[in-house]
């Protein structure tokens, strides 16, 4: 056997230096295939693990305008009905992409996802004597996603400006610690919130000094910051907070503030409109970050220094100053997410209580294709996956708890591994800018 093709000698000068190709999104036939696979998997699940009995969907809560009784339906019937609808939607998607060369529109994918979810829940909850609370599912999903959403928004701003922020975890953790401490001392959750934002800014500043000013590899700085903050907070926790738990680690929490009328809407009312101010703020901040990045002069400049800093520099934008400003703002946003752990959720700090939410937030940035709205949505999705696991094991679904605990991470890995289509980050993200 002889080699058929001879590689060009290593190091031989290529005629042109390889130009980095920018892909333009085209109509892809991947989406209908994914829909078909999902439909098939669900059908397979229904066949392989037949699970008879009724499922009890609880839609209401005691505060609604009108009481919705618990809906009791036969699980397998609903599940199979769902599979039929999903198959029909998949067929529509195939027709649209192959015959009409159109994207799979949202009016196919969104109902597909909803029907698929209902079918899955009907399968999982069948035969359980317990109510499957839809309100609980949604409100828990929102609660679990809050730090992820804030962290992801912070990540998006930083990366759009060209600074990779691996240290979201550090920002969340230090912010959680600081807000517990300040909240406990001042007895005010608002003071805790402000302190948390400052803590997020502090981490961002350290990241900025090394990554922007000293041009150290941004990923390495981020990783080091994560480890550093884990160490500092754990140390201070055991030396300072534990011996003085009553004075330093018992912060008042934000009360829930119901929005009149809206909170009484069945199903979503208690979940969305009876929350703490930090949750409402999340919706505002998400919209504001989107508006800021895409509709203001500031956003244009941020994106310019993230995509092509040299070009930005030539037209007179101060690249590093713009990056610093963006990074510090991102730190404040991530800091609010950290405050959630203490001044909203539990009321006290615990060692490494963020448990990796910052890394999930980083995944949400990529899953969301560096777009604030999509990243926030990705954060909600991860929160939803976590809560789904919890709700399903309460109703006693026939899924092993270990598998369910794995679910959010599996979804994250699939998402980051590029299953959602090609995602392309800002071109200059992670590259320090050096003025020539």
Shortest CB 84 distance to another protein, Å: 30
Q: Among 115, 122, 365, 376, indicate the residue that binds another protein (CB under 8 A).
A: 365
φ/ψ of 11, rounded to 5, equals 90, -5
Q: What is the dihedral of CA 154, 156, 162, 167, to 10 degrees?
A: 40
Q: Among 103, 308, 351, 369, indicate the residue that binds another protein (CB under 8 A).
A: 351
Shortest CB 393 distance to another protein, Å: 5
Q: Among 8, 402, 435, 436, indicate the residue that binds another protein (CB under 8 A).
A: 402
Site string for another protein, 245-284 (x = CB under 8 A): -x---x--x--x----------------------------
Q: Is 362 in the site for another protein (CB under 8 A)?
A: yes
The count of chain residues that interact with another protein, using the rule CB under 8 A, is: 73
Q: Is 134 in the site for another protein (CB under 8 A)?
A: no
Q: Among 70, 257, 262, 355, indicate the residue that binds another protein (CB under 8 A).
A: 355
Q: Is 117 in the site for another protein (CB under 8 A)?
A: no
Could you say which residues in the range 161-180 bind another protein, by CB under 8 A? 164, 166, 169
Q: Among 116, 192, 200, 222, indicate the residue that binds another protein (CB under 8 A).
A: 222
Q: Is 341 in the site for another protein (CB under 8 A)?
A: yes
CA distance 271 to 266: 9
The two beta strands, 257-258 and 274-275, are antiparallel
Q: Among 55, 112, 159, 171, indicate the residue that binds another protein (CB under 8 A).
A: 159
Could you say which residues in the range 4-63 bind another protein, by CB under 8 A? none
Shortest CB 426 distance to another protein, Å: 8
Q: Is 144 in the site for another protein (CB under 8 A)?
A: yes
CA distance 436 to 433: 9
- Part of the chain binding another protein (CB under 8 A), chosen from 64-72, 143-151, 282-290, 291-299: 143-151
Residue 54 β-bridge partners = 74
Q: Determine the Cα angle at 240 with ends 237 and 243, to 5°.
A: 100
- Part of the chain binding another protein (CB under 8 A), chosen from 189-197, 314-322, 325-333, 350-358: 350-358
Q: Is 128 in the site for another protein (CB under 8 A)?
A: no
151 touches 358 (CB < 8 A): yes
What Rg value do the Cα atoms of the chain yield, rounded? 24
Q: Is 188 in the site for another protein (CB under 8 A)?
A: no
């Amino acid at each position: 056997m002889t080699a058929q093709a001879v590689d060009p000698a290593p190091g031989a000068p290529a005629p042109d230096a390889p130009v980095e190709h920018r892909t333009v999104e085209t109509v892809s036939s991947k989406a209908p295939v994914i829909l078909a696979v999902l439909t098939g998997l669900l059908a397979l699940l229904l066949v392989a693990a037949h699970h008879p009995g009724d499922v009890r969907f609880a839609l209401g809560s005691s505060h609604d305008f009108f009481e919705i009784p618990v809906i009791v339906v036969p699980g397998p019937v609903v599940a199979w009905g769902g599979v039929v609808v999903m198959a029909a939607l998949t067929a529509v998607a195939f027709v649209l992409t192959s015959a009409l060369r159109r994207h799979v529109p949202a009016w196919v994918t969104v109902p597909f996802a909803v029907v698929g979810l209902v079918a899955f829940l009907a399968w999982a909850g069948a035969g359980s004597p317990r109510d499957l609370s839809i309100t609980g599912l949604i409100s828990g999903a929102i609660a679990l996603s809050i730090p992820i959403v804030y962290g992801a928004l912070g990540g998006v701003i930083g990366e759009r400006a060209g600074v990779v922020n691996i240290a979201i975890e550090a920002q969340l953790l230090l912010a959680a610690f600081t807000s517990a401490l300040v909240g406990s001392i001042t007895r005010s959750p608002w003071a805790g919130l402000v302190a948390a934002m400052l803590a997020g800014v502090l981490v961002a500043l350290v990241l900025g000094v090394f990554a922007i000013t000293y041009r150290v590899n941004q990923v390495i700085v981020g990783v080091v910051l994560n480890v550093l903050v884990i160490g500092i907070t754990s140390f201070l926790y055991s030396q300072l907070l534990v011996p003085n738990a009553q004075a330093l680690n018992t912060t008042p929490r934000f009360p829930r503030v119901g929005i009149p009328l809206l909170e009484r809407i069945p199903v979503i009312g208690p979940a969305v409109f009876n929350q703490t101010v930090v949750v409402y703020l999340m919706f505002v901040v998400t919209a504001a970050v989107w508006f800021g990045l895409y509709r203001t002069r500031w956003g244009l400049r941020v994106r310019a220094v993230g995509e092509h800093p040299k070009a930005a520099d030539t037209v007179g934008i101060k690249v590093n100053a713009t990056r610093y400003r963006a990074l510090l703002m991102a730190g404040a946003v991530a800091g609010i997410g950290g405050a959630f752990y203490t001044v909203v959720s539990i009321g006290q700090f615990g060692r490494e209580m963020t448990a990796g939410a910052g890394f999930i937030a980083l995944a949400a940035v990529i899953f969301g294709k560096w777009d604030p709205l999509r990243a926030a949505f990705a954060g909600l999705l991860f929160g939803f996956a976590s809560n789904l696991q919890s709700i399903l094991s309460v109703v006693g679904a026939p899924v092993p708890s270990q598998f369910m605990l794995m679910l959010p991470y599996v979804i994250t890995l699939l998402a980051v591994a590029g299953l959602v289509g090609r995602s392309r980050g800002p071109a200059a993200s992670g590259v320090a800018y050096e003025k020539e």
